[in-house]
Amino acid sequence: MTEPQNGATRRDFMKTGATVAGVSALAGVAIPSVHAAESNTIQVALVGCGGRGTGAAGNALATKSGPIKLVAMADAFKDRLDDSYSNLHAENEKQVEVPKERQFVGFDAYQKAMDVLKPGDVVILATPPAFRWVHFNYAIQKGLNVFMEKPVTVDGPTSKRMLALNEEAKKKSLKVGVGLMCRHCEAREELYKRVKDGELGDILMLRAYRQTSPVGSAIVPPKPANVNELEYQIRKFHGFLWASGGSFSDFLIHNIDESCWMKDAWPVKATGSGGRHYRGDAIDQNFDTYSVEYTFDDGAKMFLEGRNEPGCHQEFASYIHGTKGSAIISSNSHTPARCKIYKGQKFSKANLVWQFPQPEQNPYQLEWDHLINAIRKDKLFNEVQRGVEASLVTSMGRMACHTGQMVTFDDMLNCAHEFSPGLDKLTGASPAPLQISKTTGKYPVPQPGLVTNREY
C-alpha cells in the first residue's frame, strides 16, 4: 500500500475520532441534551426489517427497566417489513403499536419512521451497513438515541464520516449502542479482567475462526431478468462489498473484535490471502476462504481464518495464548461463550484452571438492557468509536486479502476508495452502485497482485 496522503494516522484516529469538513449538516445547530426521563415510555422505530433488525427489536421490547413499545417500522421492501411485523406482533402484541400508517416502505422510509419519534426515543438502524452513516446523520438531527448494527462502516471514507457525525451525537449526549454484543457478555468480561490481571502472562498470539458452510447471502446466483439490479444487490447485501463489506466484514467482525478486546489493542497492520473456489455461476464479490495475519504494535500476532464452504471442517471460536497459559474466548458461535483458562498451551481437562459458570445470560439481550438503562438514567453511553475501529480493522484484513498487499491501519483509514458515494441521494430509480462490466459481463471481483490500491 502507498503512504497515507492526507496525514491522518492511527494515533490521531484514536485520540480524536477524526473529523471531516462538511460531513455533517449539524454544525452550529443547537439540540438540547435528550433522554427519556421526561416520559415513562420509550418509543422505538425499526429501520431495516431483516432478521437482525427483527431480533434487535425483540430484544428492545424484552428489556425490563420500564415501559417500551415499537411504534414505527421502515424498510426498502414491503415483504420484509410485513414478515418482520407479523413476527414481532405475534410475540409482543401489547408492545407493538405499528398501524399501517406507521409502516413505511421505500428509500426515504427511514426518515418517515424517525419522524414518528420524539427526542430521546430510540431508533434501530439495521439496514445493510452502507446506509449506516446516512441514517445516523438523520437520527442525530432528530435528537434520537440509536442502536446500530455492525459493521458500522465498510471503507476508509465512511469511517471518517461516521466519527465526525459521532462528535455531533456526543455534543447532544445521545446514547448510541453498536451491535458488537460480545462486549456485553459477562463471561468474556470476567475473562478480560483475568487477562488484564496477568493470569495468562504476556499475550503472544490470538487465533480466531469462523469456518462454516455458506451463510446469509454470501454466495449470490445470477439476477433474474425481471428483478431490479439495485433491489437485488440490497437484498443480497452479503455478496457485495459496497453494501456490507462482504462476508468478511459482516461475519468475521465479532471474532476480530472479541480478540482485540482481550489484547486491549487494535492491530497496526495485516497481511492476508484468500481465494474463490467452486463458484459455478455465482456473481458475488466474496472469496470463499480468507486467512489473515494481524500484527499488534508490540509484535504479538492474531491469526484469523474464515471459510464459507460446505463439507469442510467447521470451527467457530477464538483463543488466546500467553506466556503463562492459554484461554478460550468463545467456543462455538457467539453465545454461550464458555470461557476457560488453562495452564500451558494444551486445552485439556487436566490443565483447566478456571471456567465461567453456566448458564450464561444472552449478550444480545444484555446489550439492550445496558443501552436502555443508560437512557433512562441519563448515563454516558456511546459505542460508536469502538464500533468504527472494529469495522476499520476488519476492513484492513479484508483489503489485505483482496489486494495481496500489507495494509496498515493508516492505509485503511486513508484509502480514498469509497465503495458507494452519494448514498444519501439514492432512490429506487437510481442505478446500482456496482455495475456489470460491459466487456466481461460480470461484476468486478478482487484481483490480488493485479489491483493493489483498491479492492475492485
In single-letter form, the type of residue at position 230 comes to L
Are residue 226 and residue 145 in the same domain, yes or no?
no
Residue 429 maps to a domain: no
452 lies in a domain?
no
Q: Which helix (H) or strand (E) holds 71?
A: strand 68-75
Q: What is the pLDDT along the chain (456 residues), one digit of tens a residue?
A: 544 445 577 667 656 554 443 343 343 333 444 444 446 899 999 999 999 999 999 999 999 999 999 999 999 999 999 999 999 999 999 999 999 999 999 999 999 999 999 999 999 999 999 999 999 999 999 999 999 999 999 999 999 999 999 999 999 999 999 999 999 999 999 999 999 999 999 999 999 999 999 989 999 999 999 999 999 999 999 999 999 999 999 999 999 999 999 999 999 999 999 999 988 899 999 999 999 999 999 999 999 999 999 999 999 999 999 999 999 999 999 999 999 999 999 999 999 999 999 999 999 999 999 999 999 999 999 999 999 999 999 999 999 999 999 999 999 999 999 999 999 999 999 999 999 888 888 899 999 999 999 999
Specify the DSSP element, H or E, that contains 31: none
Dihedral of the CA atoms 435, 438, 442, 445 (nearest 10)?
Answer: -70
CATH no. for residue 218? 3.30.360.10
Q: Are residues 174 and 268 in the same domain?
A: no
The alpha carbon torsion through 236, 242, 243, 248 (nearest 10 deg) reads: 80
C-alpha cell, 178: 453498536
Number of structural domains (the chain) is: 2
Please tell me whether residue 384 adopts helix, strand or coil conformation: helix
Spatial CA neighbour of 66 closest among 362, 379, 371, 360: 371
**Same domain for 215 and 307?**
yes
Indicate left, alpha or beta for 340 from its phi (over 0: left) and psi (-120 to 50: alpha). Answer: beta
DSSP 382: B
Residues 6+ apart with CB under 8 A from 182: 188, 254, 257, 258, 261, 330, 334, 337, 363
Same domain, 155 and 242: no
Q: Specify the pTM.
A: 0.93
Q: With respect to residue 97, please indicate whether it lies within any of the assigned structural domains.
A: yes
What torsion, rounded to 10 degrees, do the Cα atoms 22, 23, 24, 25 define? 50
Question: What's the confidence (pLDDT) of residue 302?
Answer: 98
User: Which residue range forms the structural domain that includes residue 243?
Assistant: 185-357+394-408
Is the Cα dihedral 191, 302, 337, 365 positive or negative?
positive
Phi/psi of residue 33, nearest 5 degrees = -60, 130
Strand, helix or coil at 232?
Answer: helix
The CATH number of the domain where 116 resides is what? 3.40.50.720
CA atoms within 13 A on the CB side of 342: 17
